[in-house]
Amino acid sequence: MQLLLASSSSYRRELLRRLRIPFDWAAPDIDESALPGEAPADYVQRLACAKAQALRAQFPQHWIIGSDQACVINGTITSKPGTVAKAVAQLQQCSGKTVQFFTGLCLLAPDGQEYCLMEPFAVQFRDLSDAEIRRYVALEQPLDCAGSFKVEGLGINLFAALHGRDPNSLIGLPLIGLLELLRAAGFEPLQLAE
């Protein structure tokens, strides 16, 4: 099996390495704009499949993994903050609230068949002071992370509870779901591991 991760994300690559299945990776070039009125779950599923399909011609013999994530704050899909000021503002919006995350996942077979799922996850934030938020952002610099936190790092300090089956989906690649898709496609992941 030749496996390709359709992503430029170092976070997704690190997660996929945990499975010990050899893989290549390449960055897909797609328009990631949401369609008018598109629901977050539909948006991430569409982009996950589009990312995998974007690399199909270049890697025709590979099984291609596409994944995309959206953070929804107050009913609006938010982007990665990019700046300290935006990260602080996002976390201020999240304080004391439950924030929804949606991660779309697609495993594209060489014959074009798609195996897909959408993984929901909810993060319940504590009531956060501005001082806590500013200190967290200064320490961890989560400027390239949806939701402005790193659950695998100091971001755990911000939460009252996590609700979902796979916290890896918060990092961008739901491994439990990916293993299910591999099995649905006829592979035994432990036999692929090295």
CA dist 59 and 192 (Å) reads 19
Residue type, 24: D
Determine the Cα angle at 176 with ends 78 and 31, to 5°.
35
24, 31, 42, 68: the catalytic one is 68
The DSSP secondary-structure symbol of 162 reads: E
Element spanning 160, H or E: strand 159-163
On the CB side of 191, CA atoms within 13 Å amount to: 6
Query: How long a stretch of residues is the chain?
Result: 194
68 is catalytic: yes
Cα Rg for the chain, rounded, in angstroms? 17
CA dist 193 and 189 (Å) reads 6
Tally DSSP H helices, then E strands, for the chain: 6, 7
Which residues are identified as catalytic? Answer: 68
